[in-house]
Amino acid sequence: MKRFSEKGVRRILTATAFSAIAALTLIVIFILMEGLPFIFRAGLNNFLFSSEWDPQSQKFGILPMVAGSLWVTLGAVIVGVPLGISGAIFLSEFVPRWLMRIIKPTIELLAGIPSVVYGFIGVMVLAPLIRNHLGGPGLSILAASIILGIMILPTILSISIDSIKAVPNSFREGALALGATHWQTIHMVTLPAAKSGIVAGIILGLGRAIGETMAVIMVVGNAVKIPGSPLDSARTLTANIALEMGYATGMHRQSLFATGVILLVIIMVLNYIAIMAMRNIGRIK
């Protein structure tokens, strides 16, 4: 009876795993089937590097959205990465373990807050502050970058802490025995040994920032133009799909699926780099 139950559980888990893989595969195939014909018909250069987006005139250039996505993602990295890495160092090396067990789960709860809540805070609090003190419309790349920087913090923090904790204590003890201070040990020994995992956390945070939709729609301004400064409004790739898919038909609809193909490729490349970086963590164990 016990063997039968174990086999049954194993089969259920295997079927669940394969069903998840099958669902993901079907989604990818559907997006590729809908988007690739448009890319081949319009030409990758005309689609990716044209700055004119006017579906009524059959102009489908996504360069302004690509530029907006890059601006917002870069800003999120500038905001989130220093906070995430410094927070991981502080929690791993300076805070007592009992306190870290309280602080780390609290920070990770940020990942469970709906993105619309972040967007609402950005619209009601952050955008007016930017508009009143820095100028511009308020709903801008800067506002979106700050919101996304906060949203990717749990990912960067969690993976960075695990990577730093994976560094053997013998590394630290050896550096201290040679006369290094605590900070010198962290800076010259611990962080270099944990850099693969830290890089993986940053890349996964990048993927989260690129794929975020609702919060970005609410705070970025959604202007279809190539931004010139962080105070300008912009539109990201995900925001463009979400805003226009509801009424798009024909070539317009196909162009939005083609935009999804571009996003899919970007996120797959980032995830692949993150997986390769995380594999290197095993070398320091």
Whether 19 maps to a domain, the answer reads no
Whether 28 maps to a domain, the answer reads no
Whether 168 maps to a domain, the answer reads yes
d(CA 201, CA 187) in angstroms, rounded, equals 18
Whether 35 maps to a domain, the answer reads no
Segments of the chain with pLDDT less than 70: 1-4, 274, 277-285
The structure's pTM equals 0.83
d(CA 128, CA 232) in angstroms, rounded, equals 14
pLDDT reported for residue 148? 92
- Tally of domains in the chain: 1
* Each residue's pLDDT tens digit, 208-229: 888 888 889 999 988 888 888 8
Query: Which H/E stretch holds residue 170?
Result: helix 169-177
pLDDT reported for residue 279? 67
Whether 158 maps to a domain, the answer reads yes
Tokens in use for 169? 């204590």
Whether 30 maps to a domain, the answer reads no
d(CA 241, CA 258) in angstroms, rounded, equals 10
Torsion over CA of 172, 82, 155 and 72, rounded to 10 degrees? -160
Tokens in use for 260? 């999804």
Query: Which H/E stretch holds residue 60?
Result: strand 59-60
Whether 37 maps to a domain, the answer reads no
CA 203 from chain center: how many Å? 7
Whether 18 maps to a domain, the answer reads no
* Each residue's pLDDT tens digit, 86-119: 988 988 888 888 888 888 788 878 778 888 899 9
CA 245 from chain center: how many Å? 22
Query: Which H/E stretch holds residue 162?
Result: helix 153-166
pLDDT reported for residue 43? 83
pLDDT reported for residue 129? 92
* Each residue's pLDDT tens digit, 165-188: 888 888 888 888 888 888 888 888
CATH number for the domain that contains residue 68: 1.10.3720.10
- DSSP three-state, residue 223: coil
DSSP assigned state of 114:
-
pLDDT reported for residue 2? 53
Range of the domain at 241: 46-284
CA distances 24 to 12, 29, 276, Å, are 18, 9, 21
